[in-house]
Amino acid sequence: MNAATVIFQRLSESFWLNCKLFGLTLLFSVPLGFVVAFGSMSRFKPLAWLTRTFVWAIRGTPLMLQVIIIYFAPGLLFEMTPWGSGSSGRLVACTIAFVINYACYFSEIYRGGIEAVPRGQYEAGKVLGLTKSQIFFRVTLLQLVKGILPPMGNEIITLIKDTALARIISNKEIIMMAQEYASKGLIWPLFSTAIYFLVFVGGLTLLFGWIEKKMDYFRV
Amino acid sequence: MNAATVIFQRLSESFWLNCKLFGLTLLFSVPLGFVVAFGSMSRFKPLAWLTRTFVWAIRGTPLMLQVIIIYFAPGLLFEMTPWGSGSSGRLVACTIAFVINYACYFSEIYRGGIEAVPRGQYEAGKVLGLTKSQIFFRVTLLQLVKGILPPMGNEIITLIKDTALARIISNKEIIMMAQEYASKGLIWPLFSTAIYFLVFVGGLTLLFGWIEKKMDYFRV
Amino acid sequence: MPVLEVQSIKKSFGAVEVLKNIGFSLEKGQSLAVIGSSGSGKTTLLRCLNFLERPDGGRILVNGKTVFDAAAVKSQSEAQIRQNRLHFGLVFQNFNLFPQYTALQNVTLAQELLARSQPDYQRSKKAILEEIRTRAQGLLASVGLSNRMDNYPHQLSGGQQQRVAIARALALQPDILCFDEPTSALDPELTGEVLGVIRSLAERDTTMVIVTHEMAFARDVSDCIIFMDDGRIVEQGTPDQVINHPQMERTKAFLSRF
Amino acid sequence: MPVLEVQSIKKSFGAVEVLKNIGFSLEKGQSLAVIGSSGSGKTTLLRCLNFLERPDGGRILVNGKTVFDAAAVKSQSEAQIRQNRLHFGLVFQNFNLFPQYTALQNVTLAQELLARSQPDYQRSKKAILEEIRTRAQGLLASVGLSNRMDNYPHQLSGGQQQRVAIARALALQPDILCFDEPTSALDPELTGEVLGVIRSLAERDTTMVIVTHEMAFARDVSDCIIFMDDGRIVEQGTPDQVINHPQMERTKAFLSRF
Amino acid sequence: MAFSLAACGSAPVEADSVPSSQPEASQPVSSEEPGSEPAESDLAYVKGNGKMIIGYTTYEPMNYTDASGEFTGFDTELAKAVCEKLGVEPEFVEINWETKEVELNAKSIDCIWNGLTINDERRATMELTDPYVLNAQVVVMKSGAEYDGTASLVGKTVCAEAGSAGETTIAGDEGLAQADYISKDVQTACLMEVAAGTCDAAVLDLTLANAMIGEGTDYAGLAIMERLAVEDYGVAFRKGSDICAAVNGVFDELTADGTLGALAEKYNLDLAQ
Ligand SMILES: Nc1ncnc2c1ncn2[C@@H]1O[C@H](COP(=O)(O)OP(=O)(O)OP(=O)(O)O)[C@@H](O)[C@H]1O
Ligand SMILES: Nc1ncnc2c1ncn2[C@@H]1O[C@H](COP(=O)(O)OP(=O)(O)OP(=O)(O)O)[C@@H](O)[C@H]1O
Ligand SMILES: [Mg+2]
Ligand SMILES: [Mg+2]
Mean pLDDT across D230-246: 92
Is the model's pLDDT at D92 over the cut of 90?
A: yes
pLDDT of res. C4: 95
CA distance E190 to C6: 78
CA distance E51 to E93: 12
Q: Kindly give the distance from the C-alpha atom of residue D93 to the centroid of ligand 2, in angstroms, as a whole number.
A: 13
- CB distance D256 to ligand 2 below 6 Å: no
Mean pLDDT across E83-107: 87
R_g of chain E, CA atoms, integer Å: 19
pLDDT of res. E3: 41
The 10s digit of each residue's pLDDT in D158-183 is 899 999 999 999 999 999 999 999 98
The model carries a pTM of: 0.85
Average pLDDT of every residue of chain D: 92
pLDDT of res. A130: 94
Which of B132, B139, B217 faces D98 most closely, judged by CB atoms? B139
Alpha-helical regions (H) of chain B: 3-40, 45-59, 63-78, 86-116, 119-127, 132-134, 141-162, 174-182, 188-214
Range of lowest pLDDT (A202-211, C173-182, D65-74, D94-103): D65-74
Is the model's pLDDT at C139 over the cut of 50?
A: yes
Q: Which ligand is nearest to the CA of C42?
A: 1
Quickly state the pLDDT bin for D131 (edges 50, 70, 90). Answer: very high
Mean pLDDT across E212-241: 88
Q: Give the rounded percent of residues in chain D with a pLDDT score beyond 70.
A: 99
Q: What is the 3-state secondary structure (H, E, C) of chain A?
A: CCHHHHHHHHHHHHHHHHHHHHHHHHHHHHHHHHHHHHHHCCCCHHHHHHHHHHHHHHHHCCHHHHHHHHHHHHHHHHCCCCCCCCHHHHHHHHHHHHHHHHHHHHHHHHHHHHHHCCHHHHHHHHHCCCCHHHHHHHHHHHHHHHHHHHHHHHHHHHHHHHHHHHHHHCCCCHHHHHHHHHCCCCCHHHHHHHHHHHHHHHHHHHHHHHHHHHHHHCCC
E and D interact (at least 3 Cβ pairs within 8 A): no
Mean pLDDT across A66-85: 84
R_g of chain A, CA atoms, integer Å: 21
A3-218: what fold? MetI-like fold (1.10.3720)
Asked if C118 and C198 count as a contact pair (C-beta separation under 8 A), the reply is: no
The 10s digit of each residue's pLDDT in E195-223 is 888 889 999 999 888 888 887 777 888 89
The DSSP element (H or E) to which C21 belongs, if any, is strand C16-26
B97 touches chain A (CB under 8 A): no
Q: Chain centroid to CA A56: how far?
A: 17
Q: Which ligand is nearest to the CA of D17?
A: 2
Query: Which residues of chain E does B186 touch, with a Cβ-Cβ cutoff of 8 Å?
Result: 218
> Quick one: closest CA in A to E199, which residue?
A85
Which of E182, E195, E221 faces A87 most closely, judged by CB atoms? E182
Is the model's pLDDT at E28 over the cut of 60?
A: no
Regions of chain B where pLDDT drops below 70: 1, 79, 84-86
Range of lowest pLDDT (A190-204, C184-198, D204-218, D236-250): C184-198
Q: Quick check: A127 and C154 CB within 8 A?
A: no
Q: What is the 3-state secondary structure (H, E, C) of chain E?
A: CCCCCCCCCCCCCCCCCCCCCCCHHHCCCCCCCHHHCCCCCHHHHHHHHCEEEEEECCECCCEEECCCCCEECHHHHHHHHHHHHHCCEEEEEECCHHHHHHHHHCCCCCEEEEEEECCHHHHHHEEECCCCEEEEEEEEEECCCCCCCHHHHCCCEEEEECCCHHHHHHHHCCCHHHCEEEEECCHHHHHHHHHCCCCCEEEEEHHHHHHHECCCCCECCEEEEEEEEEEEEEEEEECCCCHHHHHHHHHHHHHHCCHHHHHHHHCCCCECC
B50 touches chain A (CB under 8 A): no
- CB distance C105 to ligand 1 below 6 Å: no
Is the model's pLDDT at E33 over the cut of 80?
A: no
The DSSP element (H or E) to which C193 belongs, if any, is helix C188-203
**Nearest CA distance, B149 vs chain D (angstrom):** 15
Minimum-distance ligand 1 atom for the alpha carbon of C213: 25
pLDDT of res. E41: 87
pLDDT of res. A72: 86
Cis bond before residue B31 (omega within 30° of 0): no
CA distance A116 to A55: 20
Q: Kindly give the distance from the C-alpha atom of residue D38 to the centroid of ligand 4, in angstroms, as a whole number.
A: 7
- Please state the ipTM of this predicted complex: 0.82
Q: Give the rounded percent of residues in chain A with a pLDDT score beyond 90.
A: 80
pLDDT of res. E34: 41
Cβ-Cβ pairs closer than 8 A, B with E, add up to 79
A and C interact (at least 3 Cβ pairs within 8 A): yes
pLDDT of res. E182: 85
Q: Kindly give the distance from the C-alpha atom of residue D228 to the centroid of ligand 4, in angstroms, as a whole number.
A: 12
